Structure 1
Amino acid sequence: MSRRFPNRRLSPVRLTVLIAIVVGLVMAGFQGWKWFENETSQTREAWFAGYVDVTATPQFAFESPRADSDKNVVLSFIVASPEDPCTPTWGGAYTLDAAGTELDLDRRLARLEQRGGEAMVSFGGLLNDELAVACTSESELKKAYAAVIDRYGVQAIDLDIEGDALANSAANTRRASVIAELQSERAESGSPLAVWLTLPVTPDGLSVAGTDAIAETLDAGLELTGINVMTMDYGQSKAEDQTMGDAAVSALTASHRQLRILYDRTGIELTDATLWAKIGATPMIGQNDVRDEIFTFDDAEQLNTFAHDSHLGRVSMWSSNRDATCGPNYDDLSRVSDACSGIAQGESSFSAILGADFTGTPNSGAGITTTIEPIPEKDLSDDPATSPYPIWSPDASYREGTKVVWHHNVYQAKWWTKGDVPDNPVLQSFETPWTLIGPVLPGETPIPIPTLEAGTFPDWSGSTTYEKGDRVLFDGLPYEAKWWTQGDSPQAAETEPDSSPWMALNAEDVIAESTTGAGH
């Protein structure tokens, strides 16, 4: 953005200031003015802030941070009043005025600011009705959001959309439209607003309802600072042997891929760095709502490391209220408490581990606009000589477990497939038969296909009759007859496995069989 001063002379002082500004813009790569910057990974500082349940008892003293990692907070949750759907309340129990008197919330926030802390406000949550769900009047809804933003003077808000609200398309559009207006008005007045959308996630990524909610938000014109995924309460979507830290990394990686596709569909291509900066993670510390899920200090260290390595935009936790060891009178640690984590913490805290080395604040990213970024053209051609696995072909058939190379990445088939492009930009993992394993590494060469020694099975002969279960070798590879056959080459099993009378076997599996005495 530039400013013009028609018919106005520049004094020496003004000229000096103008030159300094121009030089600053050039040195910064002409990113623009503070609240109209283009989105890049360098225009915002990553931050940490724990959620604070404002209405929970005992009251959590967020205004007296225990350490630097506790000085930024996400106050939750603003929801619709049970009596008046367009009136904002804290947890449906306190109006903004009542919270000021009964919870002394305004004074406590002022005290936090005196100590160098910063707060953002979260709307929604799993319980009660988010404002846009209950209030269907856009003009009244806008007043409700504005009342909260103005009351607490925040420049960052969090929209926690889950449960039934997540699939409420009308509410999603209404919310985004109204907040987009507020965002635009505040940018014009020099007080930009950062908006984060918090959503549930599984290790496979966002649900259909989650990606739909993001699409509806973007379509309504809201400038989304980022999405914050709740890396918690996975249930059956998490493998038994998967740690909570590994599940979080998997969820974030999948969400990154999904967010790229969602922006691509709006015509905005973004770099990997910018996409990571638009993603946050919020684990539930200690005992999760799912009894078998416990987020440990080791998981916290893993998530913090991944967040810094990937340059995530944000890390939070549910919740600061719970960041303590339960007292001796709390007998069932597998039952979730609002006031303790359910694990022995000693002198350590989750906030210190998760928040280590984060220097930004919730206001980071306020006013930054997301625009198309120039992405260098990549040579996507794959070289068989530098690929560890065969290069994917649209004419070949692939069995479950088969690995291929495509566009410099390794993929593995989840089930039999033919003609399905490995990097097809689908939002949900169940829509593709391929799992992305990772990139082809520098210096890799083809991995030899295991073969069997001559004589392990008879070599296939076109004149021999074979019965179901007979095994043969063809070019050193083992095959097993699925039914009576004569003259049918086993090679066809690789491209047409359904119609071929032969089933390709894995040489390593056959060798393993022979060592245990199994097989034919």
Structure 2
Amino acid sequence: MIFSAYKDTSINMNWNTNVISTMVSGTRTSLADDMAANGAKRITLAFATGECGSENWGGVPGAAMASANVSLLAAKNIDYILSTGGAAGSFTCGSDAGFLAFLGRWASPHLIGVDFDIEAGQSQQVIQSLVQRIAAAHAAYPGLRFSLTLATLANNNGAPTAQSLGSSAPSSFNVYGDWTMNAMRATFGQTWPSYVTVNLMTMDYGSPGPGVCVVSGGICDMGQSAIQAAYNLHDHWNIPWSNIELTPMIGGNDVQGEQFTLQDTDETTAFAIARGLAGVHYWSYDRDLDCPPGAASPICNSLGGVGAHGFLRRFLAAGLR
């Protein structure tokens, strides 16, 4: 099982050197140094946008970003996943040559995966093209894993805890998720490739209700909702547990009242281990720092009472590595 935080590379970046940095520990520190000091072994770097081969990271050209950071991550023995797209930008890839150029900038023994975060309104054709790139990339880099990160709901028909709905389980995806799953079937057939996972964004469900999340005390139970989303993916789309990943948003979510707590961390991790999921991640590295409940912040947890790197420590204590 893969465990990592997502790191928004544009937050606390050293713009003079292009070194990916963070301030979770109190002062601006290179991400590699901060991770090594706190027991983190893997990171998902977010987000590359634009067309593959001429992509950028928050305005930093792909080649410049890679050259400034690959050696630093390797020196601290940090494995990394490259995440593309995201909520604020789109990643497109019209050719295998462009995708291989993108991967080649970051190629090292510590590059372990590529993530397609599909949530910025890509067209069905763009999504199909992204999925088609996977086959050629796998041939060139057979050790890489590929993840499809998709927004999800967590319908459970009003039960107080997560449960399998069997053959009646809904898709839980929006149209972009459905397009992605259909593109996978069109490209790879009915046998799901072992090196491709579906990573569920278990966050920001909206107004609580049985059609969108597991409701407890009038609010979305974020741990149970993450588990329910995994059940629905497995049951509706017949995706093996070993090809499912979960990514909660730690602390306060964009929808106020939705809070992913340390207890939710324990519940989600226990389920992931028991079912043999492919991975657990969290959004995001820079948010793992206390600030009071309120509007979601990109640089603190909007929860409080957890401490710097508190969620990282809890995930590690719960058995993730």
Counterpart of 1:97? 63
Alignment of 1:456-471 (within 5 A): none
Tell me if 1:214 matches 2:212. Answer: no
Q: Equivalents in 1 of 2:264, 2:112: separation in Å? A: 31
Structure 1 segments of 4+ aligned residues over 6 angstroms from their partners: none
Q: Equivalents in 2 of 1:160, 1:209: separation in Å? A: 11
The residue type paired with residue 157 of structure 1 is V
Counterpart of 2:199? 228
2:98 to 144, 151, 157: 144
Normalized per residue, the structure richer in strand is: 2
Q: Structure 1 residue 105: deviation in Å?
A: 2.1
Q: Structure 1 residue 289: deviation in Å?
A: 0.9
Counterpart of 1:75? 45
Counterpart of 1:302? 267
Counterpart of 1:156? 113
Counterpart of 1:110? 74
Q: Equivalents in 1 of 2:289, 2:268: separation in Å? A: 19
Q: Structure 1 residue 208: deviation in Å?
A: 4.5
SS at match of 2:266: helix
Q: Equivalents in 1 of 2:11, 2:219: separation in Å? A: 34
Tell me if 1:202 matches 2:153. Answer: yes
Q: Equivalents in 2 of 1:353, 1:258: separation in Å? A: 31
Counterpart of 2:226? 248
Q: Structure 1 residue 346: deviation in Å?
A: 3.1
The residue type paired with residue 2 of structure 2 is W
2:6 to 40, 43, 51: 51
Counterpart of 1:338? 298
Q: Equivalents in 2 of 1:63, 1:79: separation in Å? A: 22
Q: Equivalents in 2 of 1:147, 1:309: separation in Å? A: 38
Q: Structure 1 residue 319: deviation in Å?
A: 0.4
Would the alpha carbon gap of residues 352 and 171 (structure 1) be closer, same or farther in structure 2, given more than 3 Å must change? Answer: same
Counterpart of 2:17? none
The question of whether the paired residues in 2 share the 8 Å contact of 1:75 and 1:122 is answered with: yes
The residue type paired with residue 144 of structure 2 is L
Alignment of 1:429-444 (within 5 A): none
Tell me if 1:289 matches 2:254. Answer: yes
Tell me if 1:354 matches 2:315. Answer: yes
Q: Structure 1 residue 100: deviation in Å?
A: 5.0
Counterpart of 1:170? 125
C-alpha distance after superposition, 1:256-279 (max 9, x if no partner): 11230xx6xxxxxxxxxxx11110
The question of whether the paired residues in 2 share the 8 Å contact of 1:88 and 1:145 is answered with: no
C-alpha distance after superposition, 1:47-102 (max 9, x if no partner): 2111111111263232022333x220001101106xxx8511113x110233257x
The residue type paired with residue 160 of structure 1 is D
Counterpart of 1:466? none
Q: Equivalents in 1 of 2:225, 2:139: separation in Å? A: 37
1:193 to 127, 131, 144: 144
Q: Equivalents in 2 of 1:52, 1:131: separation in Å? A: 21
The question of whether the paired residues in 1 share the 8 Å contact of 2:220 and 2:258 is answered with: no
Would the alpha carbon gap of residues 155 and 218 (structure 1) be closer, same or farther in structure 2, given more than 3 Å must change? Answer: farther
SS at match of 2:89: coil
Counterpart of 2:166? none
Q: Equivalents in 2 of 1:278, 1:300: separation in Å? A: 20
Counterpart of 1:375? none
Would the alpha carbon gap of residues 75 and 348 (structure 1) be closer, same or farther in structure 2, given more than 3 Å must change? Answer: closer
Tell me if 1:257 matches 2:235. Answer: yes
SS at match of 2:204: coil
Q: Equivalents in 1 of 2:252, 2:204: separation in Å? A: 10
The residue type paired with residue 303 of structure 2 is I
The residue type paired with residue 231 of structure 1 is T
The residue type paired with residue 182 of structure 2 is A
Q: Structure 1 residue 195: deviation in Å?
A: 0.7
C-alpha distance after superposition, 1:454-513 (max 9, x if no partner): xxxxxxxxxxxxxxxxxxxxxxxxxxxxxxxxxxxxxxxxxxxxxxxxxxxxxxxxxxxx
Q: Equivalents in 2 of 1:108, 1:335: separation in Å? A: 34
> Over the residues paired in the alignment, what is the CA RMSD in angstroms?
2.2
TM value normalised by structure 1? 0.49
Counterpart of 2:159? none
Tell me if 1:62 matches 2:31. Answer: yes
Q: Structure 1 residue 357: deviation in Å?
A: 1.9
The question of whether the paired residues in 2 share the 8 Å contact of 1:315 and 1:354 is answered with: no
SS at match of 1:337: coil
Counterpart of 1:438? none
Q: Equivalents in 1 of 2:138, 2:288: separation in Å? A: 33
C-alpha distance after superposition, 1:396-444 (max 9, x if no partner): xxxxxxxxxxxxxxxxxxxxxxxxxxxxxxxxxxxxxxxxxxxxxxxxx
> Number of residue pairs matched?
273
TM value normalised by structure 2? 0.78
Counterpart of 1:402? none
